[in-house]
Chain A
Amino acid sequence: MFLCVVCGQNVFVTLVAQERVATRIVSLVPALTEMLFAVGAGSQVVGVSSYDDFPPEVQSRPRVGALLDPDVERILSLKPDLVLMYGSQTDLQGQFARAGIRVYSYRHGGIGNVLQTIRELGALSGHKVEGDRVTAQLQSRLDAVRTRVRSRPRPRTMLVMGRDAMALRGVYVSAGVGFLHELLDVAGAEDVFADVKREGIQPSNETMIVRAAQVIIELHPGDQPAPDILQKERSVWSLLSSVPAVRNGRVHLLYGGYLMSPGPRLAAAAESLARVLHPDAFVEAGPQVRP
């Protein structure tokens, strides 16, 4: 199997022999680490990035830096036979190529990329069957969410990925490209910034008023704060009182690392989004088991 990865002007062609299964894998990308554990290759993971926090087993793995600060010496000392890294780390890819170590270059993209990546990592780590199974399972969970909300009206929704604490400033929202945008579609909503073909933008207050979202969902990677803080954070939106989501009390704050991770937990993220978008559709389903 040939894996062709195009990064800028550099084309890396890594020969991945079917029979050569990677047994010592270093991952610089948290989402990819999750995928390895999901396909049952967790025991082959010998090093992880400084940002990895899921699954809990990663706590016991050596940390080897991340996008900006990969510790090449440390990675080499772990004697990996496969290193997973970002597509933009072209110099690093060259370094490992010279050292004769296989490199897997990660492409950030939509849900399709995530599923494809899980399949590829399953094959590379010798867990092809499991990789295909996990992928199929994810796909069917996503399909189930889509089916459950299919017949319902799709509210115009603004998905907020970041904001200054306790102020309606520095609001950063998902726009018309990327897995978060696609998750919104799966969960039965129209993205108010679908026409902006970028992963995210920082809209002005004026733009947010004009776009008039019917639902606003904020994603926070951390743990849910105390109720009084939560209340304060939600109430910053009261400034934009003409926005339907604000007037109708449809500003939702979701907390959890799984919400913004383009990995095996994205079906859970889709379910969380669908539950706040269409609570009626989940009445008989019972509470969600959070990953």
Chain B
Amino acid sequence: MSTSAVRRGPFGSAEQGEVPSIRTRLAVTIAGYGALAVATCVLAPLVGSTQISLARVFDRSIPFADNVDAQIFFVARMPRVLSGAVVGAALASAGVVMQALLRNPLATPFTLGVSAGAALGAILVITFSTAVSLGALSPVPLASLGGALLASAIVYGLATRPGRTMSTMVLLLAGVTLNSFFSALILFVQYMADFAQTYRTVRWLMGDLDVGSFGPIVASLPLVLVAFAMFAVLPRSLNLLSVGTDAASTRGVDVGRTQRLAFLSSSLATSAAVSLAGPIGFVGIVVPHLVRLMVGVDHRIVLPASALFGAAFLVGCDLVARTVLAPVEVPVGVVTAMLGGPFFLWLLVRRS
């Protein structure tokens, strides 16, 4: 996170100067942002709308069912903080990858229709009160996951041709069109729904991390882990890809493969995050830009830093959401937008 690293070129260690090696920078970044994320995740469960005693929380002599403090800690706060960390990390990393893939600073994890597909699934289940569940996935998360994966599959099918690289233009247009199409379907279903259902769908769209148990988080982990495993091999290719597909392929990047990996990984991460907590906005766009401002543009640094900072950011926003107006709760998506929106505008004006 040294200031000399801020103005580095996209090729990282290829442009060696007096700056420390990529390994050192990566270690420093992960240590710094990791400490921030861990500190947030440790401190956040200690704070809430009510005072709890930590001694009581961990007092094993009181049966769990009688221990209100332990229930607040383990049922209400820990799952919230952990889901905030998982969702924040997933959305922020997906945002980084999507911005590199589309070579567009305004790209978000929701640009290519994943969240609209998820929303359509959720809204159909809320409106027609379907009662299908799968393990720890209750009907609404299950349907939103299905919708998100379906939307990703449609966009992927439209934008890929065997043996050819993806057209960023086609990808973007297909995604944006699918977004509008799903949004129209959502409005149509909402129009057919009654007031209570409409309220609940609108509320779902604002995002909510109060998952209530570790089950839903564990259920989303396989997708998130697969996505992060794919993220891990991407950064170097993304550095080259963000300059241009031709430049990347002349430097030996398998552009088609990188694009597919980038699309699939960010779609998986986004699908898992949205099905867990609804489409929480701004994390996927603000966090990557904020992190770039601090550590430069090398994806080998930006990607892990964004994941860690995204986790800390969302856990922090949810802390505000659950305490500021208690017992009434502010939807976390409102908090991220209210904090993230002005900040992003400031960034935009400052940069231009």
User: Does B210 contact A205, Cβ atoms closer than 8 Å?
Assistant: yes
Q: Is the CB of B328 within 8 A of A198?
A: yes
Give the chain A neighbours of B71 by CB distance below 8 A: 209, 240-242
Contacts of A188-211 to chain B: CB distance below 8 A: 193, 196, 198, 201-207, 209-211
Report if B327 contacts A (CB, 8 A): yes
In the bound complex, do residue B65 and residue A169 qualify as a contact, i.e. CB atoms below 8 Å apart?
no
| A249 part of interface (Cβ distance < 8 Å) | no
Q: How far is the CA of A108 from the CA of B133 in the complex (A)?
A: 36
* Closest residue on chain B to residue A67 by CB atoms: B195
Given known pairs A205-B75, A210-B68, the reply for A161 and B196 (CB within 8 Å) is yes
**Are B212 and A239 touching (Cβ within 8 A)?**
yes
Residue of B210, B326, B329 touching A169 (CB-CB under 8 A): B210
Asked whether, in the complex, the Cβ of A170 is within 8 Å of the Cβ of B327, the reply is no
| Interface-central residue, B64, B139, B191, B212, by most chain A CB under 10 Å | B212
Q: How far is B25's CA from A68's CA once the two chains are assembled, in angstroms?
A: 57
Contact of B191 among A51, A68, A164 (CB under 8 A): A68
Distance between Cα atoms of A172 and B130 in the complex (Å): 19
- Residues in chain A near residue B64, CB distance under 8 A: 241-242
Interface size class of B (residues with CB under 8 A): 35 or more
B194 within 8 A of A: yes
Given contact pairs A204-B49, A206-B49, A229-B131, A170 touches B326 in the complex (Cβ within 8 A): no
Interface 9-mer from B89-97, B197-205, B246-254, B255-263: B197-205
Q: Is A221 an interface residue (CB 8 A)?
A: yes
- Expressed in whole angstroms, the Cα–Cα distance for A211 and B50 within the complex equals 10
| A205-B76 contact in complex given A169-B140, A241-B65, A242-B66, C-beta closer than 8 Å | yes
Cα of A205 to Cα of B80 in the assembled complex, Å = 10
Asked if B118 is at the interface (CB within 8 A of a chain A CB), the reply is no
Q: How far is the CB of A220 from chain B (nearest CB, A)?
A: 9
Contact assessment for A225 and B131 in the assembled complex, using a CB-CB cutoff below 8 Å: yes
Give the residues in chain B near A204, CB-CB below 8 Å.
49, 76, 80, 210, 322, 326-327, 329
Which A-chain residue is minimally distant from B211 (CB atoms)? Answer: A169
Contacts of A222 in B (CB 8 A): 129
Interface residues of A (CB under 8 A from B): 51, 67-69, 161-162, 164-170, 172, 193, 196, 198, 201-207, 209-212, 221-222, 225, 229, 232, 239-242, 247
Binding site for A on B (CB under 8 A): 48-50, 64-68, 71-72, 75-77, 80, 125-126, 129-131, 133, 138-141, 191, 194-196, 199-200, 203-204, 208, 210-213, 322, 326-329
18 A-B pairs with C-beta separation under 8 A: A164-B138, A170-B203, A170-B208, A172-B196, A172-B199, A201-B329, A203-B329, A204-B327, A206-B49, A207-B326, A209-B71, A210-B49, A211-B327, A221-B196, A232-B131, A239-B212, A240-B75, A242-B65
